[in-house]
Structure 1
Amino acid sequence: MLKNEKVPHEKTLDNSAALMMEGYNFIGNRVNQFQSDLFETRLLGEKVICMSGEEAARFFYDSERFKRKGAAPKRVQQSLFGVGGIQTMDGEQHIHRKLLFMSLMTPPHQKRLAELTLEKWQESVEDWKNQDEIVLFEEAKKILCKVACHWAGVPLQESEVKTRADDFYAMVDAFGAVGPRHWKGRQARNKTEDWIRSVIEDVRAEKLKVSEGSALYEMAFYKQLDGTQLDTQMAAVELINVLRPIVAIATFITFSAVALQDNPEYKELLRSGKSSELEKFVHEVRRYYPFGPFLGALVKKGFIWNDCKFTKGMLVLLDVYGTNHDERLWPNPNEFRPERFEERNESLYDLIPQGGGNPAEGHRCPGEGITIEVMKASLDFLVNKVDYDVPDQDLDFSLVRMPTMPESGFVMSNVRLR
């Protein structure tokens, strides 16, 4: 579709309003309209190239041609990523710091987080007995906040769990938002940075003892390429970049419950207890349901690729949602079918809900393994450890709102251990 075709250009002066009106489908709508996997448009007055598909994803992760520094708008750094965080770095410094994150996300860490998640879910059932209904999304945020802090070594009082969990998620919810949602995310980040900064200061002053190898310890005493420690502000930003994504898995867990409700025929397979069945279901949840709409990078130096001129400094957006629903990669992409992962040819550039490429070398999320294992533990809990009723509610989700969620948050009643 890309080869030797003239690159379409949008005729409008600026499409920022259209992006906010169309959300996750903004790039895909134009890919379908132009019958081209890339096109040029204008956003906030600047020329932008948008791309979709596996070939585009492979190209997007070429570090010789694209960089991340400067790609994330300041408003996104001030809410979601933190100013100067790892997502905005390139080159040797990025690889060196990425190794720190990778060391905290190895299979043993993934296993421990999954175990803690299942433990916390089961403990919560006792609290739910006295409640007529619970909202799964709200409970998932709190549970994952407790899990993340316990695992990382960050002290967390029971009385502050809800506030901290809400703040972690508010940073995520600020992505793509303007007005109150954005400002709520910025306020949440400021509060959370103050909190985590004080924790790191206590660790460095030996007022707080923490285990070597924990995320808190490793972030507090991490040495940069020049041998210096991160200042406390940057250490806080990066520790939040470990904790916040774990809390954000609440979105995928909620969509997992929606998938079970809409596709009950898979429950018996999942009750077999096979890890492979859980994994296929989890992968399909991550592919089918919306999470991140797109990713951005800047052109390092000018070049031409597939008849398209890429100018130095130009912003390029990769369509995450559209690539995960590309019918060339996923037959019948708008059907929920976990079995599609039974004989899938592995690729680093087709299933990209958390980015593409090699996480050790590029900008793919290093916590993807954690996401999968925590989702599997949570799915196992929902299918094999509890029974519950699902009252009438609105489980629809908007593809305009970024990020999005089922309208009701998934209400459950009469939750009881099996």
Structure 2
Amino acid sequence: MQEGYEFIQNRVKQYGADLFEARILGQKAVCITGEEAVKVFYDPELFQRNGAAPKRIQKSLFGVNAIQTKDGAVHQSRKRLFMSLLSPVGVMELGQLARKRFKEASESWERMERVILFDESAEVLCRVACEWAGVPLKDEEARERANDFNAMVDAFGAVGPRHWKGRRARERSEVWITEVIEKVRNGELMAREGSALSEWAAYLDPDGESLDAKMAAIELINILRPIVAISTFIAYSALAIHDHPECRNKLAAHGEQYREWFVQEVRRFYPFGPFLGARARKDFTWKNYHFTEGQLVLLDIYGTNHDYRLWEFPKDFLPERFRDWDGNLYSFIPQGGGDPARGHRCPGEGVTVEVMKVAVDFLVNEIQYEVPEEQDLSYSLVRMPSRPESGFIITNVRKR
């Protein structure tokens, strides 16, 4: 809690090792970092997710007994549905909706004295997510729903008021989406065929049983919430454009290719997920350390993305580093590692990249704005999750 994103890296440097023991939340844990650690962590023969996520995180971020806590056939079955919904076609549809909704939002932004980009982007993305998923959303409740989705994320590394705010937000969201699922199932609401709402309402687990309405709602929220959470990456993207004006010029001049490099560097450089947890499935030895069955293990996300052995000048913001990136699924892990189709890596990573590219193109080529000096553009490496303190405020917004 005192060191945040750098907790694991601080000790890796101190001990000169990619592995060390620590006590986390009153229990012994092993912290690991680096590319080889990622490969081991995502080996389903060695690690499982069941029992790794504390109940306090399930009750705020993931939802109790959600896919992030599952292994084996149940995990694979639910993951296939996530992957099918978030296919290239689904990603393209989400990107098109995001482009449309950001353009619509710019009309109201022109009339606003100041725009807090994090908040406004969250509302835009909440509308996008619900429209794409087939979930009815009233205009007047979009901001409240967006705030609730982001409150769940904000509760991840929090204790006290922030944590309880996230728990209350999850409770409200689960009541809302459970009611929607029930209306689809009893015929009161027609869900668009093939939509996320339709698919989760009709989903059967490997045992042939329907999920209860609340569990189906939890998994549907696990699609909606991460889309809204892209607002954090959008705020970071705006910060990167502001701090690196040479990038703005390249984004305007070089188009799609440079935009891809840019958003990937935003995901690598700025703090988002600090670490991931799993438990050893069996006894085994790695790097001369004996892991015991059930042992808690934390994989260092932030440190691996800033590992000098994997990234030249890791503390510098350099989009061009992705010019020759080989697509390694174990060295670049902003949303987890390994193959998303077979393991626990986030299936929505393509959505994140596409929506970020749409937002960056919008900020650079669709609108003009000013960035007032009277705001706090810093971000903390202790607060988890982190984002620009001011939410990135822009003023005098106008279309190009």
TM normalised by structure 2 equals 0.99
Could you say which residue in structure 2 is the equivalent of 1:341? 322
- Structural mapping, 1:226-305, within 5 Å: 226-272=207-253, 274-305=255-286
What is the SS of the residue equivalent to 1:272?
helix
Aligned counterpart, 1:158: 139
The answer to whether residue 203 in structure 2 is matched with residue 185 in structure 1 is no
Task: Select which of 54, 74, 87 maps to 1:106.
Answer: 87
Match for 1:115: what amino acid? Answer: Q
Give distance in 2, aligned partners of 1:226 and 1:92: 9
Q: Report what 1:404 is aligned to.
A: 386
Aligned to 1:216: 197
Q: Alignment partner for residue 144 of structure 1, among 115, 125, 129?
A: 125
Unaligned runs of 5+ in 1: 1-19
Secondary structure of the residue aligned to 1:296 is strand
Corresponding residue for 1:58?
Answer: 39
SS of equivalent to 2:240: helix
1:100 shift after superposition: 0.5
Aligned mates of 1:133, 1:247 — CA distance in 2 = 21
Could you tell me how far 1:174 is from its partner in structure 2?
0.3
Deviations 1:45-80 (Å, cap 9, x if unpaired)? 211100011110111001001000010000000000
**Residue 168 of structure 1: aligned partner:** 149
User: What does residue range 36-115 of structure 1 map to in structure 2 within 5 Å?
Assistant: 36-115=17-96
Structure 2 stretches of 5 or more lacking a match?
A: none
| Partner Cα distance (1:226, 1:41) in 2 | 39
Cα distance in 1 for residues equivalent to 2:393 and 2:22: 41
Partner of 2:369: 388
Indicate the SS of the match to 1:342. helix
Q: Distance in 2 between matches of 1:45 and 1:187?
A: 25
Deviation readout 1:80-106 (Å, 9 max, x if unpaired): 000000000001111111000001000
- How many Å apart are 1:351 and its aligned residue? 0.7
CA distance in 1 between partners of 2:148 and 2:138 (Å): 15
Give the counterpart letter for 2:388 in structure 1: P
Shift of 1:273: 5.6
Give the structure 2 partner of residue 3 of structure 1.
Answer: none
Give the secondary structure class of the aligned counterpart of 1:346: coil
Deviations 1:180-210 (A, max 9, x none): 0000000000000000000000001111111
1:361 is matched with 342
SS of equivalent to 2:2:
helix
Distance 2:200 2:327 in 1: 33
Mapped to 1, the partners of 2:5 and 2:283 lie a distance apart of 28
The one-letter amino acid paired with 1:399 is L
- What is the identity, as a one-letter code, of the residue corresponding to 1:269? K
123-132 vs 394-403, which deviates more?
A: 123-132
Quote how far apart the aligned CAs of 1:121 are.
Answer: 0.8
Instruction: Give, in angstroms, the shift of residue 346 of structure 1.
Output: 2.2
Kindly report the root-mean-square deviation, in angstroms, between the aligned alpha carbons of the 2 structures: 0.8
Give the corresponding residue for 1:130. 111
The secondary structure found in structure 2 opposite 1:99 is helix
Take 2:110 and 2:231, find their aligned partners in 1: how far apart are those partners? 21
Q: Which moved more, 1:21-30 or 1:115-124?
A: 115-124
- In 1, Cα distance between the equivalents of 2:236 and 2:217? 30
Change (3 A) 1:147 1:273: farther
How big is each residue's C-alpha offset from its partner over 1:313-356, in whole Å with a ceiling of 9 and x where there is no partner? 11000000000000111110000000000012221101101000
In the TM superposition, residue 132 of structure 1 has moved relative to its aligned partner by 1.3
| CA distance in 2 between partners of 1:45 and 1:156 (Å) | 42
Letter in 2 for 1:33: Q
Aligned equivalents of 1:306, 1:321: Cα separation in 2: 21
Partner Cα distance (1:231, 1:378) in 2: 36
| Number of residue-to-residue matches in the alignment | 399
What code does the residue aligned with 1:361 have? R
Q: Distance in 2 between matches of 1:408 and 1:211?
A: 38
What is the CA deviation profile of residues 270-309 of structure 1, one whole-angstrom value per residue up to 9, with x for unaligned ones?
Answer: 1136211111000000000000000000011111111101
Give SS of 1:271's match: helix
Identity of aligned residues (%): 59
Query: Aligned partners of 2:254 and 2:306: how far apart in 1?
Result: 29
Q: Which residue identity is paired with 1:342? A: R
The CA distance in 1 between the partners of 2:240 and 2:63, in whole Å, is 32
Task: Tell me, in whole angstroms, the C-alpha distance in 1 between the residues paired with 2:65 and 2:315.
Answer: 37
SS at match of 1:396: coil
